[in-house]
Amino acid sequence: MVRRWSFQRLALGVVLLAAAAGPLGAPDRTIAAAAGLAPHGETASTLASAAQQGGDLSVGASVQVQGTDGDGLRVRAAPSLQGDVAAVLVEGAQVEVLDGPVTADSVRWYRVRYDRQGGSGWVSGQYLVAAPATSGDSASATAAGASTASASAGGAPPLAAAPGVSSFGAPVAPSTVTVPAVLADVGASGDPASVADPSATGDPAALAAAGATAAGPGRYVRLGAYQANSPEYGMNIFIWGEANTTQRDLGKLRELNFTWQKTLFQWREIEGAGKGIFDWREADRVVSASTAAGIKVLARIDFPPSWACPTWDNRGNECAPDRFEDYADFIRAFTTRYGTGSPIGRVYGIEVWNEPNLAREWGNKPINQDQAGQYVRLLQLAYQAAKSVDPQMTIVTAGLTPTGTQNDDARPDDQYLQWIYDAGGAQWFDVLGAHGAGYKAPPEMSPDDVAADPSYGGHPSFSFRRVEQLRDVMVRNGDDAKQVWLLEFGWTSDEVHPAYAWHRVTEDQKAQYIVGAYKWARDKWSPWIGVMNLWNLSAPGWTRDNEEYWWSITNPDGTPRPAYNALLNARQNGTLP
C-alpha cells in the first residue's frame, strides 16, 4: 500500500477515430461490432475481388485505408477472424504492405506496417487502395483521409492529429467530433456525457483541452467518462490466478454492497510472449466473473513485458517501457476487448501506471520534473489509444503515493501533481487517481495537525486527509470539475516490517478508521470524491511475511477481521448508506 490504484451512447465512438472502434467498414453497427469484437465487414459476402482493390498492393507498396464508412479498419495479430485486435486504423490512414495476400476465412489478408516504430498486423485487403501519388508525406495523407471521413459524416471540421503524435497509420486524436443525429439531444442525465450551453462557442483546441468537443453548430458534448456517486464503494481484490476463491471474494463485495473492484492486469501476463501476441484467458475470466457478479472493474495496467524494457537492469519494482507507443498499443487492444458493449464483460476504467513519483516504479530513474513530463506523455498516448476505441472508457491517472521524501528517489505527491499540470496533463485524464494511506492518524485529523505532531510522522503526507491538498492543486489549476478516486486507502496493523510498523494501528482501530474515512468522504468531500477503493481483501496465499497481509480486512482463508464486520454493520444499519 505505502510502497512509496449502454449502447445508448456507444455511437459516440466517433471520438478520436471516425467511429473507429468497430467493424471493418460494415453497415451493421451492433453493440459487439462497435466494441471491435464482431467480424462484420470481413466476411466473404463483403469481400471485394482483386480487380476492385485499388491499384498496387504488392509488398513495399504505400496504401491507404478506404471504404470503411468511417468505422475504421481493425488490425489483427494473425490473418484470421479470430486474430486478436491490436489496433484500429482511421479512414484515410496510410500504411505500408509488408506481406500477403493470404486467404483465410474467405478474406484476403495483407500484413501492413502502421506506425513509424514498426507496429504491424494483418488487415483485410477489401479496404486498402494504393496511396495517391500526390499524397505527400504520411501525416498529410492521414489528415486528408480523416478530413474526408469527417466531411462525409456531416460536414464537421477535419480531424487533426494531436501535436507531436505520429499520424502514420495510427489512430489520431481529432480536435472535434462528429456526433450522430440520433445523439444530438443527449442531455446531462446518466453516465457519462453532458451537453453544455447550446449557444456556447469556442475554438477546437480550447475545447479539446477542456475535455469537450464540438457536436454540431454551437453544441458541445463532453467526452465520455463515468461520473461516480459521491462516494461509491470499491475494494482492491486478488482474484487473478485464483479461480478457487474468485466467487468467494466477489461474494464478499456483494455482501458489503460494494460495487467496484480494482485488479492489477499485468501487461506482461497478457502480452508477454511478444509484441502483438496476446493471451487473454485469465483476463477474460476475471472480467467476465466480475461482470456476472454485478461488480464494475477498474483495471490498473503496468508491469511491462521484458521485450518492452530490454534495457532495464531489473532494479526496483518495474520500469517504464522503452517505447511508450507499445504501452498505448496494449491499452488500445485492452479497451477493444473490454470496452462498452463487450460480450465478455466491461472494464469501466483504466489506471495508467502506478506511483510514478517513486523511482522504483520507473526503472529506478531519477524522479524530477522532466520525468513527470515523461509520465504525462505516457498518459497522453494511453488516453488517446483508449478513447479511439471507446470514448466512454474512464482514464484515471496513476495513484500518486503520499510520501514525505524530497529527492530523486521520491517526490511529494502534491508537487508531482503540479508537474503533471505544468506538462499539460490536464487534458489527458478523466479522473485524478490518489492513494490515501491513513498511516497512524485517525481519518478526521487534518494534514496540518499531523505535520505538527512528530508522533504521527510530522509531515502532512501522513494523513488520510492529504487528499484534500491534492484537490487544492486541482482547483488552483482550474481542474475542479473532475473527480478524485481513491485507488488505494487504508490502515495497517503491521507487526513485522519496520517500514510499516511505525504507523501500525490495532485491528479494532483499523475498523473504526475505515468506517470513519468513508463517512468523512461522504460528509465533507461530496461531490468531488468518486470511487473509494479500500486496500484490501486478502489474497489466499498471503502470510504474516507479506506486508499487504496487514492491511487486509479479511484473512487469507476468507474469514472476516473486525474491519470487515464494521463495514458490514455500517452498510446495513445506514451509517454508510
Before 443, cis peptide (omega within 30)?
no
φ, ψ of residue 462 to 5 degrees: the values are -90, 45
pLDDT for residue 68: 78
For residue 86, name the pLDDT band (cuts at 50, 70, 90): low
Secondary structure (DSSP) of 446-508:
-HHHHHT-GGGTSSTTSSTTHHHHHHHHHHHTT-TTS-EEEEEEE----SS-HHHHTT---HH
The DSSP string of 349-384 is EEEESS-TTBGGGTTT---SHHHHHHHHHHHHHHHH
Decide if pLDDT at 85 tops 80: no
Percent residues over pLDDT 70 in the chain: 72
pLDDT in tens, 437-451: 999 999 999 999 999
Q: What is the mean pLDDT of the chain?
A: 78
Give the model's pLDDT for residue 130: 85
Split at pLDDT 50, 70, 90, the class of 76 is confident
Model confidence pLDDT, tens digit, residues 173-207:
333 333 333 323 333 222 223 223 323 334 444 44
Which pLDDT value is given to residue 476? 95
173 contacts 16 by C-beta, under 8 angstroms: yes
For the residues 460-480, what does the mean pLDDT come to?
95
pLDDT for res 317: 85
User: What local confidence, expressed as pLDDT, does residue 203 receive?
Assistant: 47
The string of pLDDT tens digits covering residues 507-546 is 999 999 999 999 999 999 999 999 999 999 999 999 999 9
Q: How confident is the model at residue 74 (pLDDT cuts 50, 70, 90)?
A: confident
Distances (CA, A) of 114 to 72, 249, 329: 13, 42, 11
**Higher pLDDT among residues 492 and 5, named by residue:** 492
Residue 423 pLDDT > 80? yes
- Does the pLDDT of residue 164 top 60, yes or no? no
Q: Around 187, how many Cα atoms within 13 Å sit in the side-chain half-sphere?
A: 1
pLDDT exceeds cutoff 60 at 390? yes
Determine the distance from the C-alpha atom of residue 348 to the mean position of all C-alpha atoms in its chain, rounded to a whole number: 8
Residue 202 · residue 169 · CB < 8 Å = no
Distance CA 340, CA 291 (A): 12
Residue 562's pLDDT is: 98
Predicted confidence (pLDDT) per residue in 276-295, tens digit: 999 999 999 999 999 999 99
Q: What is the mean pLDDT of residues 139-148?
A: 31
| CA atoms of 575 and 577, how far apart (whole Å) | 6
Of 158, 103, 97, the closest CA to residue 128 belongs to 97
How many angstroms separate the CA atoms of 97 and 59, rounded? 5
CA-wise closest residue to 441 among 497, 513, 529: 513
Report the pLDDT averaged over residues 427-442.
95
The pLDDT score that the predictor gives to residue 113 is 84
> What tens digit of pLDDT does each residue of 96-135 get?
899 999 999 999 999 998 755 456 889 999 899 987 654 3
pLDDT in the model for residue 179: 31
- The predicted pLDDT at position 374 comes to 96
Look at residue 38 and tell me whether its pLDDT is greater than 50: no
Peptide bond into 527 cis (omega under 30): yes
Write out pLDDT tens, residues 315-373. 878 999 999 999 999 999 999 999 988 999 999 999 999 999 999 999 999 999 999 99
What single-letter DSSP state applies at residue 137? Answer: S
Phi/psi at 484 (5° precision): -110, 130
> Which amino acid does the sequence have at 174?
P
pLDDT the model gives residue 297: 98
CB 512 within 8 A of CB 464: no
Residue 548, classified by CB atoms within 10 Å of its CB into exposed (0-12), middle (13-18) or buried (19+), is middle
Would you state the cell numbers that stand for residue 506, as one nine-digit string? 490495532
Among 136-140, 188-192, 252-256, 405-409, the least confident range: 188-192
How buried is residue 449: exposed, middle or buried, by Cβ count under 10 Å (0-12/13-18/19+)? middle
Q: What percent of the chain has pLDDT over 90?
A: 61
Contact 204, 495 (CB under 8 A): no
Closest CA to 90 of 66, 107, 123: 66
- Can you give the pLDDT at residue 110? 93
Contact of 448 with 413, CB cutoff 8 Å: no
pLDDT of residue 8: 27
181-217 burial, b if ≥16 CB within 10 A, otherwise e?
eebeebeeeeebbbbbeeeeeeebeebbebbbbbbbe
CA–CA separation, 470 and 437 (whole Å): 14
Q: What's the pLDDT score for residue 140?
A: 34
With CA atoms as reference, report the closest residue to 153 among 83, 234, 214, 76.
214
Q: In this predicted model, what pLDDT tens digit does every residue of 248-272 receive, in sequence order?
A: 999 999 999 999 999 999 999 999 9
Q: Which residue has the cell 513495399?
A: 60
